[in-house]
Amino acid sequence: KRGTNLDYLQGLNTSQRAAVEQIKGPVMIVAGAGSGKTRVITYRVAHLINNGVDPFNILVLTFTNKAAKEMRERITKVVGGEAKNIWMGTFHSVFAKILRVEGHHLGYPSNFTIYDTDDSKSLIRTILKEMQLDDKLYNANFVYNRISSAKNNLISAAEYQKNEHIQAEDRSSGRPHLGTIYQTYSQRCFKAGAMDFDDLLFNTNVLMKNHPDVLYKYQNKFKYLMLDEYQDTNFSQYIIVKKLAAIHENLCVVGDDAQSIYGFRGANIQNILNFEKDYPDLNIFKLEQNYRSTQNIVNLANSIIAKNEHQLKKDVFSTNEVGDKIKIFRAFSDNEEGKIVAENIAQKRSLSGSPYQSFAILYRTNAQSRAMEEALRKIGIPYKIYGGTSFYQRKEIKDLIAYFRLTFNPNDEEALKRVINYPRRGIGNTSIERIMISANEHNISLWDVISNAENYLDSRTAVTVAPFSLLIKSFQAAAATNTAFDSAMHIAQHSGLLKDLYEDKSIEGLSRYENIQELLNGIKEFSDREDIEEKGLDVFMQDIALLTNEDNDKDPNADTVSLMTIHASKGLEFPFVHIVGLEENLFPSQRSLNSRDDLEEERRLFYVALTRAEKNIYISYATSRYQWGNLNNCEPSRFIDELDPQYLDLDFRPKSNSSDSSSFENERSSWQPLDTFSKPKPQTSRPKTTSILPKAHVPSSGFTPSDTKNLQVGMEVEHERFGYGKVVNMEGKSPDLKATIFFKELGQKQLLLKFAKLRII
Ligand code: ATP
Ligand code: MG
């Protein structure tokens, strides 16, 4: 035994400990939320190492890279520095790393580019244009999803085109060319030396299938495999794991079918059932005690998930305190919902003495964060958004990175298209089209054309592109000898990008310039690191497409409220959780209402949200919400009706914090306690709402839709929340008359008059 510190075994209950100590053979734990599945994996890794297993022989696959990082930190506490040698991360990051080494077997360079979703869709749009297909019928998102799902089911482009069932399906949907698009897309990616996200798994499968020697090498490297969140692995991932584990069969998977939120039609429950078939001598462990949440929360979550037909039976209980009941409130609008949530957090924080870190706001769609952010900002609550647009997705960052990408992989078509004429250097669309036509004609990359322009282009175009090709070659020369930072700085300056951003003195321009500086700072830090040997810009670049904001968090310990979608909250826990926007067509989402399976997936999502909370849950919904620029009336979600009232606090009224009230213009909130969970009662008096106008300007007469019968273009109006504006256009017929109004403070909005709270002035 390497270590002597076995104290960690004390922190496990009997079944958890049994699972940790079952070192050999296939192990499966299917258990409810908060029952310690992730904890078992963590301790099991520590236990393996303590029992002489070499950390180099362990592979752990997690849901996010951040989860892997935290796990590694915990393991380090038990086994020490050796923990850094464990392979740990998401499927994508782990197999990208392997493909860098082994990709040459498939004809890929080790510095292959990883296309992110934007790159993939841009390439699809280019192909659609070349094929002259209707981009409404062949919408890029649709095509992307179709190709993605084929790859995740291990169907290659060639197989796709041969499969009669798929062909018939495409023909009947009126999109017979999908197979050809898939084929062209794959060829173009290959030619560009690029893999998209799905290729990282697809190509790993191809590698393992066609190169048994390579497979054998990794089977013997990863003698012990562990996999968290097993319920959300797709077919492609499932096959990778199965193959890797085939010789030693030391495979431990943990998951919860009730938390499967990325699948369709029960495919993931199938994974769990398959597992039992694949490994007849499987050791199954049951964990039933939830350590995370109060009894009320566990019981409420159980009562919700019981409504699903498709689920494996589980008994989850908690011996924690009974705890407070779950609180529900409704707000008049999305903005007001944000206001109440923010106020509640401020108040709860001062009453309980808990830091901001203890609070999370969970929502169904990213768009809902706006109202929350505004309200939090207004009263000065610090927050962090998880899983939002990554820093690396910003335009200016992607532009500079495109130059880096080209430097190391000049065949990268998407990077080339992005910067060939940015900053402007006189290479117009006609020239670009000529390059593309020539590349397609000779079946070579755009770079092959450009770097041999005299052979492939007419002399005028050749002269136009020559400086660009020289520029990229000079970057390659600079990057070959310099550190990451010096290369990056050289490229930022000589590409003209830094100057272009510097000269833009608008506020946005300034912030773009700062972002570039931030990126360069990050690269400097990387160059200065002492714990790694290879410090070239190419190394820095390798996984950049897979990074999220969280991986790049400069200040992970900052005391902030966490905002995120429920999808992103998987595996996490917070003492206080707000779940907002419980409205029909939002949660459950509109798209899920067509089938029972989709609705069940939404319900599992709700179960995930509820089970993130340790102490308190606040559920809220608004009776009106802005979506796509229109104010819509909303109905409370059916999930609210499904909540068992015995666990609910029906009299909850978030209190107005008088010392803080100035920030809310001294207005009382319009939230109301709920006395019933059927639909909201018709309101007898119109609730007061927050106005963006100074109080003195709020007219005493109400704003009523009937005021607007005589509305005409040119009239000045006042909106209850948007303030003063002028009607610029009217369209539609009563009762669906719409007005486009230019508001002084907010700009142009289109409103449906039957709902708009307007007054003619
Ligand atoms: P999820 O399904 O949400 O991913 P999980 O099953 O992975 O949940 P963990 O996150 O591992 O559960 O554990 C939930 C919480 O309970 C954690 O804070 C963990 O430290 C704690 N916990 C788990 N087991 C024990 C135990 N035996 N004693 C004390 N605390 C425990
Ligand atoms: Mg977990």
Binding residues for ATP: 31-38
Distance 41 CA to ligand 2 centre (A): 9
Question: What Rg, from alpha-carbon coordinates, does the chain have?
Answer: 29
> Among positive and negative, which fits the CA dihedral 73, 77, 82, 86?
negative
For residue 175 the two structure tokens come to 């999109």
- Residue 5's pLDDT is 64
Cα end-to-end span (Å), the chain: 83
* Mutation pick for ligand 1 pocket among 292, 567, 573 (CB with most ligand atoms within 8 Å): 292
Rounded distance, CA 316 to CA 294, Å? 12
Contacts of residue 722, Cβ cutoff 8 Å, sequence gap at least 6: 692, 741, 743, 745, 746, 749
Cβ–Cβ under 8 Å, residues 372 and 580: yes
Residue type, 608: V
**Residues of 450-459 as b/e, b for ≥16 C-beta within 10 angstroms?**
bbebeebbee
The count of C-alpha atoms lying within 13 angstroms of the C-alpha of 176, restricted to the half-sphere facing its C-beta, is: 2
Distance 58 CA to ligand 2 centre (A): 19
- Residue 128's pLDDT is 96
Based on the residue annotation, tell me whether 602 is a catalytic residue of this protein.
no
- Residue 741's pLDDT is 85
Distance 573 CA to ligand 2 centre (A): 9
* Mutation pick for ligand 1 pocket among 7, 13, 37, 39 (CB with most ligand atoms within 8 Å): 39
> 535 φ, ψ to 5°?
-125, 25
Q: Which of 720, 664, 654, 662 is nearest to 687 (CA)?
A: 720
Rounded distance, CA 538 to CA 401, Å? 11
Based on the residue annotation, tell me whether 38 is a catalytic residue of this protein.
yes
What is the number of other CB atoms lying within 10 angstroms of the CB of residue 511? Answer: 12
Distance 290 CA to ligand 1 centre (A): 7
Rounded distance, CA 569 to CA 577, Å? 11
Binding residues: 31-38
Cα dist from 143 to 117, 590, 716, whole Å: 12, 21, 46
* Mutation pick for ligand 1 pocket among 291, 293, 607 (CB with most ligand atoms within 8 Å): 291
* Ligand 1 nearest-atom number relative to CA 287: 6
Rounded distance, CA 362 to CA 78, Å? 33
Distance 37 CA to ligand 2 centre (A): 5
- Residue 253's pLDDT is 95
- Of 348, 612, 615, 757, which is the active-site residue? 612
> 618 φ, ψ to 5°?
-120, 125
pTM here is 0.82
280-294: per-residue pLDDT in tens? 899 999 999 999 999
Cβ–Cβ under 8 Å, residues 758 and 751: yes
Chain mean pLDDT for the chain: 87
732-744: per-residue pLDDT in tens? 877 778 888 887 7
What is the number of other CB atoms lying within 10 angstroms of the CB of residue 14? Answer: 8
Which ligand gives the minimal distance to the CA of 614?
1
The count of C-alpha atoms lying within 13 angstroms of the C-alpha of 329, restricted to the half-sphere facing its C-beta, is: 25
pLDDT mean for each 10 residues of the chain (761 residues): 67 95 94 95 95 96 90 91 94 96 96 94 95 92 94 95 94 95 97 96 97 97 96 91 95 92 63 84 94 97 91 88 95 93 95 96 92 92 84 89 96 96 93 94 95 95 95 96 93 94 86 88 86 86 80 80 94 97 93 85 96 97 82 91 91 56 36 38 34 29 54 81 80 79 74 76 79
- Name the DSSP letter for residue 401: H
Rounded distance, CA 363 to CA 581, Å? 7
For residue 530 the two structure tokens come to 């002492």
Label the pairing between strands 648-649 and 326-331.
parallel
Whether the upstream peptide bond of residue 735 has omega within 30° of 0, thus cis, is: yes
For residue 193 the two structure tokens come to 């030396």
- Residue 632's pLDDT is 84
Based on the residue annotation, tell me whether 257 is a catalytic residue of this protein.
no
Based on the residue annotation, tell me whether 171 is a catalytic residue of this protein.
no
* Ligand 1 nearest-atom number relative to CA 608: 3
Rounded distance, CA 268 to CA 186, Å? 27
Could you tell me how far CA 193 lies from the centroid of its own chain? 26
Beta bridge partners of 632: 625
Beta bridge partners of 114: 195
The count of C-alpha atoms lying within 13 angstroms of the C-alpha of 493, restricted to the half-sphere facing its C-beta, is: 8
Could you tell me how far CA 38 lies from the centroid of its own chain? 21
Rounded distance, CA 368 to CA 754, Å? 24
- Residue 268's pLDDT is 64
Whether the upstream peptide bond of residue 588 has omega within 30° of 0, thus cis, is: yes
Q: Which of 688, 754, 699 is nearest to 723 (CA)?
A: 699
Based on the residue annotation, tell me whether 213 is a catalytic residue of this protein.
no
228-238: per-residue pLDDT in tens? 999 888 889 99
Label the pairing between strands 613-622 and 574-579.
parallel
- Of 37, 146, 339, 405, which is the active-site residue? 37
Q: Which of 592, 595, 625 is nearest to 606 (CA)?
A: 592
Cα dist from 415 to 144, 409, 448, 456, 665, whole Å: 19, 9, 14, 21, 50
Query: Residue 263, SS3?
Result: coil
- Of 16, 219, 259, 542, which is the active-site residue? 259
Distance 224 CA to ligand 1 centre (A): 22
Q: Which residues form ligand 1's pocket by a CB distance below 6 Å?
A: 11-13, 16, 33-39, 256, 259, 291-292, 571, 573, 611
Cβ–Cβ under 8 Å, residues 59 and 38: no
For residue 216 the two structure tokens come to 């054998």
* Ligand 1 nearest-atom number relative to CA 42: 11
Cβ–Cβ under 8 Å, residues 292 and 611: yes
**Nearby residues for ligand 2 (ion, Cβ within 5 Å):** 37-38, 571
Label the pairing between strands 561-565 and 359-363.
parallel
Based on the residue annotation, tell me whether 286 is a catalytic residue of this protein.
no
> 704 φ, ψ to 5°?
-125, 145
Could you tell me how far CA 555 lies from the centroid of its own chain? 20
